[in-house]
Amino acid sequence: MVNADYTDEKLKCSGCGIGLQTEDEAGAGYIPARGLERKPPVCQRCFRIKNYNEASGTTVSKDDFLSMLSHIARTDSLVAHIVDIFDFEGSLISGLQRFVGDNPILLVVNKIDLLPKGTNLNKILNWIKKQAKAEGLKVLDVALCSAKRGAGFERVIDSFQQYRGDRDVYVVGATNVGKSTLINRLIRDYSDLNAELTTSRYPGTTLDLVKIPLDDGRSIIDTPGIVYDFRLTELISKEELQILMPEKPIKPRVYQLNEGQTLFFGALARFDFVRGERQSFTCYVANSLDVHRTKLENADALYEAHRGEMLSPPSAGHLAELPPPTKHSFSVKRGGRKDVLVSGLGWVQINSDSGAQLVVHAPKGVKVAIRDSLI
């Protein structure tokens, strides 16, 4: 499927696609003159991310990104929209249909390896189709995969081949959904190219359009990830991001709560069971994130005394980086089976036969919502 002759522009970084320059060390695309001898050339930023796992705050401007995205509507292309199953609502591109025009959309749902073992993927698939429709997204098909583990990758390739025809494929998505990882699997498994896109945990890894030529003269084109500030993953410090982002299948944590009890997720979010009969709540968050239970009447004092220490992340040194918490109230009806999600953190499933009154505290601006249960 992929052409073995990789002929990306000579003066563009093969990792992030940015134009290369040797003059401004602080500027995007900087490469020492000797670095131009590398084949293919890689900017200093990508080199340090790949070899030293260093973070970089460099991102494309919103105007530049919108310009790149709006260009798709003027092409005849297949659009592959990559989303993260762990943060589905937070990784969907709002208004994507408007940007891509009449071009068909293939929804590729990544990171299914993070779902608890034994999850029924057919039910997940049906849930995704229903949610996408509710969000106004018209999709040709849905492909479930794990770009990192390789699960479902054949299904993604088959979908590309089935729907692409004689067209380019634009790969779009929010930051940290695994776009570059997915494309790198394509490069490794279906070509002998000697270049890979830069991948990291940090936002803004891809800075420009990166073209990967196909054997019919068309290309797969990676685009910069959209940085959505309503996700906790964009607000937490880069050093503590690994605590929030799961690496292994999530182990659901079930809590039997009486009314007037609270769950703290570090100092990032707080879940209050305000009113209702004793019932179970299942937490789907990274295994590395600590959850603390306390009485609602003690919650404010506990937060003030232990945030940044027992309640972390964030650590004490990074508390000031988060906006102040705000409250979100929810009512789950009797017999309801709902998820309350905090974008970038995960979700709490309410298994209610009797109804529940809930209040969720999260940093101001972070997306908090209720939905039909995913699992």
Predicted confidence (pLDDT) per residue in 137-177, tens digit: 899 999 999 988 878 888 888 898 899 989 998 988 887 88
Question: Residue ranges per domain, the chain?
Answer: 33-228, 241-372
Longest CA span, the chain: 68
C-alpha 272: how far from chain center: 26
CATH topology of domain 33-228: Rossmann fold (3.40.50)
Residue of 279 and 32 predicted with greater confidence: 279
Dihedral over Cα of 331, 337, 342, 348: its sign: positive
C-alpha separations of 281 from 85, 157, 276 in Å: 20, 38, 12
Residue 252 — very low, low, confident or very high, per pLDDT cuts 50/70/90? very high
What one-letter code names the amino acid at 12? Answer: K
Under DSSP, the state recorded for 174 is: B
Residues 6+ apart with CB under 8 A from 329: 357, 358, 359
Residue of 338 and 31 predicted with greater confidence: 338
Question: If you average pLDDT over every residue of the chain, what do you get?
Answer: 83
Write out pLDDT tens, residues 49-93. Answer: 555 444 344 445 456 666 677 788 889 999 999 999 999 999 998
Residue of 191 and 168 predicted with greater confidence: 168
Which pLDDT score is estimated for 52?
A: 45
Residue 181 — very low, low, confident or very high, per pLDDT cuts 50/70/90? confident
Most confident of 34-43, 110-119, 220-229: 110-119
Distance between CA atoms of residues 170 and 209, nearest Å = 9
pLDDT > 70: percent of the chain = 83
Say whether pLDDT at 182 is over 70: yes
Helix axes 153-164, 179-190, angle to 10 degrees: 90
Q: How many CB atoms lie within 10 A of CB 310?
A: 13
Q: What is the dihedral of CA 107, 339, 323, 224, to 10 degrees?
A: -10
Classify residue 5 by burial, with Cβ atoms within 10 Å: 0-12, 13-18, 19+.
exposed
